[in-house]
Amino acid sequence: MKEYLRDLTDLSKEDILKILDLADEMKKNPDKYTNALLGKTLLMIFEKPSLRTRVSFEVGMTQLGGHAIYYDIATSPMGKKESISDTVKTASRYVNIIMARLFKHEHLTEMAEHATIPVINALTDFSHPCQVLADLQTIREKKGTLKGLKLAYLGDGHNNVTHSLLYGCALVGMDISIGSPEGHAPMESVVNKAEELASSDIVVTNDPIEAIKDADIVYTDSWMSYHIAADKKEERIKVFTPYQVNKDLMKHAKKDAIFMNCLPAMRGMEQTKEVIDGPQSVVFNEAENRLHTQKALILTLLS
């Protein structure tokens, strides 16, 4: 396995399944791992807001006997008086592992290149691999398997979570169908790469009903990602409304389909309240599994 996680394509199918198995085991027997990272430190570099990522990584390190440092780029010399390369080379002399939530994906890959310790992508504008590891754990818990299932993603296709779902589904053998408006499809290079990796089906369509038809998992994400300017809101509501996951659209998925959203979520936007707060929703299981999958990922990278 590589010594960093920039994207899920840094992992093989076997790597992913090993991390998920370890995450399941750590979730079941947390007490066995309380000293696993004694004396180890994680540096958490943040350029964007967060609830889940920040708290789950920090709690994860505490539960493993280690320590985490929150480092806000706004109060750092990085990008102003200090290069990314000097920042991570210096940090590599103090801490054992770095995670970073950044705007530009190139900055994350630059960190991974220059750090002498593992670097984890904790979300960039391009991808969000940690989220999808937690989502795969959640899907396997709920459905008992991954291979052969169909995941439908509705809404903003040109999106970090969507890109990571494409890679994740392709790697583990799940069909994925993206329903997004024209001009908001996933990046072509990501779709091509996912097709190369996949033995399963990959569909990108403008038709929300075609996308969601017979899905086992229905997934949506914010129409207003952290990097989208606030003045785009009205225009985006208009464009994405036909892709809103509501009761009517859910009727086209399988009866026992689960509903997922990486959160944060806006009721009345990418999904209705009745869907996200309804019996098919597993959004808080996904949120919880961020903790378990990241603990397993850190332990794997540091072993």
Give the C-alpha separation, 54 to 104, whole Å.
18
Considering only 6, 40, 52, 105, the residue that binds ligand CP (CB under 6 A) is 52
Q: Which is nearer to ligand NVA, 9 or 131 (CB)?
A: 131
Count of Cβ atoms closer than 10 Å to residue 141 Cβ: 14
- Minimum Å distance from CB 177 to ligand NVA? 19
The catalytic residue among 101, 140, 236, 292 is 101
Among the listed residues 263, 265, 280, 288, the single contact to ligand CP using CB under 6 A: 263
- Residue 226 within binding range of ligand NVA, rule CB under 6 A: yes
**Residue 135 a catalytic site member:** no
Per CB under 6 A, contacts with ligand NVA among 260-279 are: 262
CA distances from 161 to 24, 41, 62, 126, 240 (A): 22, 27, 27, 8, 16
Under the binding rule (CB under 6 A), the answer on residue 131 touching ligand CP is yes
CB 182 within 8 A of CB 19: no
Residue that the structure tokens 């992913």 belong to: 16
Q: Which positions from 73 to 92 touch ligand NVA by CB under 6 A, shown as an x/- string?
A: --------------------
Of residues 130, 145, 139, the one with CA closest to residue 50 = 130
**Residue 221 contacts ligand NVA per CB under 6 A:** yes
Residue 186 DSSP code = P
What token pair was written down for 192?
A: 């091509």
SS3 of residue 158 by DSSP: coil
User: Residue 124 or 131: which CB sits closer to ligand CP?
Assistant: 131
| Type of residue at 66 | G
Are 152 and 129 in contact, with CB atoms under 8 Å apart?
Answer: no
The maximal CA–CA distance of the chain, rounded, in angstroms, is 56
Considering the rule CB under 6 A, would residue 241 count as an interface residue with ligand CP? no
Which of 262, 275, 296, 299 lies at the binding interface for ligand CP (CB under 6 A)? 262
The residue (of 24 and 58) whose beta carbon lies closer to ligand CP is: 58
Residue 264: asked if its preceding bond is cis (omega within 30°), the reply is yes
Nearer to ligand NVA, 156 or 175 (CB): 156
Q: Which does 51 bind (CB under 5 to 8 A by kind): ligand CP, ligand NVA, none?
A: ligand CP
Tell me which DSSP letter residue 68 carries.
E
Contact positions vs ligand CP (CB under 6 A)? 50-53, 123, 131, 262-264
Contact positions vs ligand NVA (CB under 6 A)? 123, 128, 159-161, 221-222, 225-226, 262
Which active-site residues does the annotation give?
101, 128, 131, 221, 262, 290
